[in-house]
């Protein structure tokens, strides 16, 4: 058995080593080492099984030899080696499942030896327990193949990474949806350069014709001063851009721009306040100090 211990230990060490030495300088890659490790464990297990079978066989032969030397006849030895199977009470499923024997059979179950007058019944191991036991073996083999040999299943860390990636995607989708749910009541004044830049692009494309390249005013009013026809708070701007002032020539943008885009462009317009562009259009509307509107919108 000394050899066996040695082989078993080697197998275990090879299996464990890759886990310990992920970033070592060994010539073999972690994967190859893993395969060698698992192969070694499998080989050791098979060897173990063979050794068990050989031992079982040896015990049987030895028993025969000892019984023979004790003066047993051939028939007696045969009877001893292959005890007659006791008849089961087939009517009772429960008894069968638990491998229970009726009390009347107790005599047949008694083990010949007694220990200081104490006797034992040779009750068989219940079937459910044996199946549970075999089940664990089958499960273990399946588990090993699935997770460590064919890599069809994901180990904890990989599973964690996959789920985090999925959650990231879900989060992005949720956030983009949430951003698009903004309206004139929930719009917020932000100073995020990304938002301002997006707003600037939208302004260039849609608003320059009437409000001028620097929003200094053209057909439409100057959007950089403190005078507003329809309110200077971010919420007011959102409302004006969303619904427009059709009778005065300001289109509605509800159908053209998404809520997020409207929010971006009005934030860009707010960022222009006080930029004093050349050739500004004369102020229109009532004066609303930026500090006041800022306070109101926050
Ligand atoms: C077709 C020309 C036209 C276009 C294009 C246009 N506007 Fe206007 N806009 C106007 C006019 C005209 C007014 C003034 C409405 C009034 O007198 O009530 C106005 C008013 C506004 C106001 C309100 C100003 C205030 O004093 O209350 C804002 C804000 C505004 N526009 C933003 C935008 C934005 C942002 C865009 C681009 C998405 C845009 N406009 C595109 C013509 C336009």
Q: Is 245 in the pocket of ligand 1 (CB under 6 A)?
A: yes
Over range 221-239, report the average pLDDT: 94
Over range 52-72, report the average pLDDT: 91
pLDDT of residue 298: 43
The tokens 């964690």 sit on which residue? 160
Confidence of residue 91 (pLDDT cuts 50, 70, 90): low
| Under 8 Å between Cβ of 80 and 67 | yes
Over range 186-198, report the average pLDDT: 93
Over range 148-175, report the average pLDDT: 92
- Residue 209 pLDDT > 80, yes or no? yes
pLDDT of residue 12: 55
How many Å lie between the centroid of ligand 1 and the Cα of residue 256? 14
- Residue 22 pLDDT > 50, yes or no? no
Q: Report the mean per-residue pLDDT for the chain.
A: 84
154 CB-near residues (< 8 Å, 6+ apart): 162
Nearest CA to ligand 1 atom 8: 250
Confidence of residue 18 (pLDDT cuts 50, 70, 90): very low
Q: Is 219 in the pocket of ligand 1 (CB under 6 A)?
A: yes
Sign of the four-CA dihedral 91, 94, 97, 101: negative
Rounded CA-CA distance 272/216 in Å is 10
Q: Tell me: the pLDDT tens digits for 98-156?
A: 777 777 777 777 888 888 888 888 887 888 899 999 999 999 999 999 999 998 889 99
How many Å lie between the centroid of ligand 1 and the Cα of residue 211? 7
Atom of ligand 1 nearest to the CA of 231: 27
- Residue 27 pLDDT > 80, yes or no? no
How many Å lie between the centroid of ligand 1 and the Cα of residue 291? 22
pLDDT of residue 6: 56
Q: Is 230 in the pocket of ligand 1 (CB under 6 A)?
A: yes
How many Å lie between the centroid of ligand 1 and the Cα of residue 298? 23
Q: What percent of the chain has pLDDT over 90?
A: 55
Over range 1-28, report the average pLDDT: 53
pLDDT of residue 3: 59
pLDDT of residue 107: 78
Q: Is 209 in the pocket of ligand 1 (CB under 6 A)?
A: yes
> Which of 16-30, 174-188, 258-272 holds the top average pLDDT?
258-272
pLDDT of residue 108: 79
Rounded CA-CA distance 167/153 in Å is 20
Rounded CA-CA distance 144/49 in Å is 18
Rounded CA-CA distance 83/78 in Å is 8
How many Å lie between the centroid of ligand 1 and the Cα of residue 250? 5
Nearest CA to ligand 1 atom 42: 250
How many Å lie between the centroid of ligand 1 and the Cα of residue 273? 15
Q: Is 204 in the pocket of ligand 1 (CB under 6 A)?
A: no
- Residue 90 pLDDT > 60, yes or no? no
pLDDT of residue 109: 79
Using only C-alpha atoms, the chain has a radius of gyration, in whole angstroms, of 43
146 CB-near residues (< 8 Å, 6+ apart): 152, 153
| From 195, 203, 220, 261, mutation site for ligand 1 pocket: most ligand atoms within 8 A of C-beta | 220
């Amino acid at each position: 058995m000394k050899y066996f211990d040695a082989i078993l230990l080697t197998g275990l060490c090879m299996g464990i080593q890759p886990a310990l030495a992920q970033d070592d300088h060994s010539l073999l890659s972690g994967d190859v080492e893993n395969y060698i490790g698992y192969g070694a464990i499998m080989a050791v297990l098979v060897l173990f099984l063979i050794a068990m079978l050989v031992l079982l066989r040896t015990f049987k032969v030895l028993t025969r030899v000892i019984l023979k030397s004790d003066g047993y006849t051939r028939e007696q030895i045969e009877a001893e080696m292959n005890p007659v199977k006791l008849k089961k009470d087939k009517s009772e499923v429960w008894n069968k499942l638990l491998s229970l024997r009726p009390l009347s059979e107790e005599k047949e179950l008694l083990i010949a030896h007694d220990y200081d007058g104490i006797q034992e019944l040779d009750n068989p191991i219940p079937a459910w327990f044996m199946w549970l036991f075999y089940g664990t073996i089958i499960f273990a083999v399946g588990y090993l193949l699935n997770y460590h040999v064919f890599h069809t299943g994901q180990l904890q860390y990989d599973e964690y990474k996959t789920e985090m990636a999925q959650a990231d995607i879900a989060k992005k989708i949720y956030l983009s949806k949430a951003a698009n749910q903004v309206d004139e009541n929930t719009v917020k004044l932000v100073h995020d350069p990304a938002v301002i830049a997006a707003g600037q692009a939208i302004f260039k494309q849609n608003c320059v014709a009437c409000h001028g390249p620097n929003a200094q005013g053209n057909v439409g009013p100057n959007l950089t001063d403190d005078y507003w026809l329809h309110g200077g708070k971010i919420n007011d701007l959102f409302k004006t851009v969303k619904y427009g002032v059709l009778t005065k020539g300001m289109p509605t943008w509800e159908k053209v721009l998404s809520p997020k885009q409207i929010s971006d462009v009005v934030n860009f317009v707010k960022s222009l306040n006080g930029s004093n562009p050349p050739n500004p259009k004369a102020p229109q509307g009532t004066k609303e100090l930026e500090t006041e509107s800022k306070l109101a919108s926050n």
